[in-house]
Amino acid sequence: MFHIETRKVQKTGGSSYIVSLPIDWIKSHNIHEVFEKNGYTLGIISQPDGNLLVTPNPNSEEILKAKEIIVDEIEDYNFLFRILIGAYIMGYSRIIIKSSKKFEPFVRDCVNNFTQVAIGPEIIEESSQIIVIKDLLNPKEMPFEKTIRRMYILAESMHEDAIEALKSRNKELAEEIIKRDDEIDRLHWLIGRQSHIVLKDIILCQKMGVTLQDANQFQFFSKYLERIGDHAVKIARNVSEIIEDDINETLITEILNASELSLNLLNKSLDAWLQKDLQLANDNIDLVKDLVKMCETIPSKTENHNMDSSIAISYIVESIRRTGEYAADISEIIINSLIEKLEKFS
């Protein structure tokens, strides 16, 4: 049951005030034992809401959080990879993979691939039955804003190149975009990891200069940008299917126009975020209606194409529409965030 203990404020000396600490809390952190030997220093942080945070670990980000994974019952590469990504995103700084027998070849392949695609983890110890992975990235070295900007650039360039591949009938470009999907995924995983770490560690959160609301907002940004990247890949794959077909140039022009509006929505959401512009974010949400109307008219113009081409074109148009809608979703998050900060709405 939730219970708030009260403590009387007492004055000591000329200008100092003291409060006593709950004995159960002292014992639960072994502060009394350490105090008897070497004394003890607590961390005290003033919160924006007026509360005062008292922590037994002022340098909490230096504490290694370990996760042990036994692979004896794991026989699937993809299952193990998802487990490793899950441990990474949940903020474990040390991942220990163990087996009661010699590792199966797929285990080492999976671990090596994981350390190559995720940002930070490196193998620091390895034998026939144990692999230790340590995250070498200090969370403070990768600010949220920097990663989100990079994701914006990647998502935009992937979409632009996918549409260019359609316009120029460039199959090699379409295939290259598919390979770029890993890059935006790894940034998405990093944002997820950073968010979980700071949500669990208010001290690190403040040292990084973000609020808990900011961390939650960045996680949503990342999710939508990663999905925009996925839709760029879908466009590229469908472009590869129809690149040899005789597609009507008028139809291609319609697709290009829809893509331009979709990317405009994406760029406006970035501007609204960077400029903290509530009106721009709102205008962006209204603009998505025009994109939806434009996209709804395009599938009707595929009647003279074969079934496979018509389906591929419909998928391309759907991905263009979803990209714009995700940009509008980001704008809604921006509005929600800005409402709290703008005095004229108080």
Let me know whether 218 and 84 are in one domain: no
Same domain, 223 and 121: no
Question: What order of strands is seen across the sheet that includes strand 94-98?
Answer: 66-70, 94-98, 130-135, 121-126
Both 145 and 249 in one domain: the answer is: yes
pLDDT at 249: 84
In a domain, 5, yes or no: no
Q: Is residue 295 part of a domain?
A: yes
Judge if 233 and 116 occupy the same domain. Answer: no
Q: How far apart are CA 239 and CA 165, in angstroms?
A: 7
Residues 159 and 225 grouped into a single domain: yes
> What is the predicted pLDDT for the residue at 7?
78
Q: Which pLDDT score is estimated for 191?
A: 94
Q: Are residues 301 and 340 in the same domain?
A: yes
Single out the residue in 138, 154, 176 at which a domain terminates.
138
Q: What confidence score (pLDDT) does residue 32 get? A: 73
Q: Is 204 helix (H, G, I), strand (E, B) or coil?
A: helix
70: β partners: 98
| pLDDT at residue 242, rounded to an integer | 86
Counting as low any pLDDT under 50, the low residues of the chain are 62, 346
**At which residue do the structure tokens 């770490």 appear?**
197
Give dist(CA 307, CA 304) in Å, integer.
9
Question: Quick one: 204 and 287 in the same domain?
Answer: yes
The answer on 111 and 67 residing in a single domain is yes
| Containing structural domain, residue 108 | 62-138
Residues 20, 331: Cα–Cα separation, whole Å: 47
Q: Is residue 247 part of a domain?
A: yes
Query: What does the alpha-carbon distance between residue 247 and residue 298 come to, in Å, rounded to a whole number?
Result: 13
CATH number of the domain enclosing 69: 3.30.110.20
Residue 173 and residue 101 share a domain:
no
For residue 68, the cross-strand partners are 96
pLDDT per position as a tens digit, 123-178:
999 999 999 999 988 877 788 999 999 999 999 999 999 999 999 999 899 989 98
Q: Which of these, 137, 114, 336, 118, lies nearest to 221 by C-alpha position?
A: 336
Residues 145 and 72 in one domain: no
pTM of the predicted model as reported, rounded to 2 decimal places: 0.81
Instruction: Dig out the tokens for 302 from the structure.
Output: 């595929």
Domain count, the chain: 3
Whether residue 3 is contained in a domain is answered as no
What pLDDT, on a 0 to 100 scale, did the predictor assign at position 230?
96
138, 169, 200 - which closes a domain: 138
